[in-house]
A and B are shown apart, each in its own frame.
Chain A
């Protein structure tokens, strides 16, 4: 999946997250989270997994997480990517 324009998904509500993606030459991931100390390792792993699954190799991916569970992280990244790749 190719990121051809800016895309966002999600909200800043508790248990949710905001995802911002935009085109870039290489892959760059920025993660901010209220639970980064305890769950940073799982969030990172999930982000990598979803990007790989969607074949994303380049783009700026920014997450602002408010304690979302894995399913929500996956869904919000997917939505942002779909919105950023649609014609």
Chain B
């Protein structure tokens, strides 16, 4: 074990692979890892005939999937996805074992995979998870080494070949028989295919899986025929109505609204809210309320923004349609209004996860962000943020773009209620570090605003405006005075997962919780 720069104990190797401990937000470069770029063999296909091989089973056979290989899917259908569950069932039926899953994310709906992990069909997860799989792994009830990556970090690991994907099974909502497809139309339309774009470029075999085979050519394509090996048809890819998670509603909670108001004050005081403003929010109720304030200020002052970014909601679509932004960069559609918009509006730009946030290229879109609103499950007095584990110690959430956006944006603003059911959200130490405090600008709770030391001008301006600026230690003390000091959760020494920073270094580990 070695300590990384944040004092977290990191194993030198995990699941047979060596890792480098986290150092700082920006100094790690590709050369650190002696990596260049994944390559895949050149192929020649002189036939113009259909690539449809039949259903999932035929596609698995045709792809040459074998024991010990790595597969991937994308999570654009989020909790409505059926493909990954159906796929693993077929893999099991074919007697294939020891498969690594390197999907872009795994949701609660994929709890169906648990029996296949127990059975040895799946033996490693090269991606973060939401829900019961992570919970059981961190309770020590389920054995499956897991490496949690951010969206940008995952793109990096696939593009660099650190995580070689043998077969990518990509849900293709609007697809032709020769493999052109997009996510805009059809019964399982999910909009942007930003996460799938990376896999389609770099996986050794690419299978387009569709429930909506349309006459050639399926235009406009997001992923084109020249990189697609196989087409498979299924009854249904899933339920796009479940793209919308319960969190994508504007908060009505008065404390949440107070936080949103403070966040708007911070954005206003930042000096970036003028023509050319660029902005990202999450889908949480507070984030959307902040977006509402930003929209109102932009309207009132006749500000024309540059771009909105990230997972895109109908809220951002309305802002684009109203002319408040020049365009939207969309890696993932968070609701059906966004899906509808991306299919009709060329200024609503689909973007790959690599373009969005891969640190190892000539500039990701997150680098151009002025202000970003991010959530947290915990924050410590050094501004480190946890979004992966809950205070119970259980791994319940994937990183998403959290550390990517914080790393890129000029000001990253964490919005979080100060207390959730007696649990203090600002505390001495977070259970897990997802995003290093060095990349966090401001922490906002309903009890006040804490500004990190690297933004002294912003702090002074907020004080001038009589905003409730508090030292983060003072914030913690006020919260502890209400809740009492929490006893830290106890962990065993058994490392069951790694939290990878976007540059590939290891920022923290997940250990099993002591019973």
A, B: real partners: yes
B-binding residues in A (CB < 8 A): 14-15, 34-35, 37-42, 66-70
Instruction: Provide the main secondary structure of the chain B interface.
Output: loop
Assess the B487–A68 pair: CB atoms within 8 A. no
CB of B423 closer than 8 Å to a CB of A = yes
Q: Does B275 contact A (CB under 8 A)?
A: no
| B residues in contact with A70, CB < 8 Å | 484
What residues of A have a CB within 8 angstroms of the CB of B392 in the complex? 37
Flag whether B95 is at the interface (Cβ < 8 A). no
Q: Is B486 an interface residue (CB 8 A)?
A: yes
Q: What 0/1 pattern do residues 157 to 196 of B give for CB contact below 8 A with A?
A: 0000000000000000000000000000000000000000
A35 to chain B, nearest CB (A): 5
A66 and B421 form a contact (CB under 8 A): yes
Q: Cβ of A34 and Cβ of B421 under 8 Å apart?
A: yes
8 Å CB contacts to A: which residues of B456-515?
Answer: 482-484, 486-489
In this assembly, does B422 line the interface, its C-beta being within 8 Å of a C-beta of chain A? yes
Q: Are B487 and A41 in contact (CB under 8 A)?
A: yes
Q: How many residues of B contact A (CB 8 A)?
A: 14
A67 x B487 contact (CB < 8 A): no
Residue B251 CB within 8 A of the other chain: no
A14–B422 CA distance with the chains assembled, in angstroms: 9
Say if the beta carbon of B391 comes within 8 Å of chain A: yes
Q: How far is the CA of A67 from the CA of B391 in the complex (A)?
A: 13
Q: Is the CB of A69 within 8 A of B482?
A: yes
- Do residues A37 and B421 form an inter-chain contact, with CB atoms below 8 A? no
Whether B487 pairs with A39 at a CB distance below 8 angstroms is: yes
Which chain A residues lie closer than 8 Å to B393 at the CB level?
37
How far is it, in angstroms, between the C-alpha of A73 and the C-alpha of B203 when the chains are bound?
57
Contact indicator A39/B422 (Cβ below 8 Å): yes
Nearest 5 Cβ contacts at the A-B interface: A67-B421, A38-B486, A67-B422, A42-B484, A35-B422
Alpha-carbon distance between A40 and B392 when the two chains are bound, in angstroms = 13
Chain B residues whose C-beta falls within 8 Å of the C-beta of A35 in the assembled complex: 391, 421-423, 486
A34 to B421, CA, bound (A): 8
Known contacts A69-B482, A69-B483, A70-B484; decide if A38 and B421 are in contact (CB<8 Å). no
CA distance A67 to B419 in the complex (A): 10
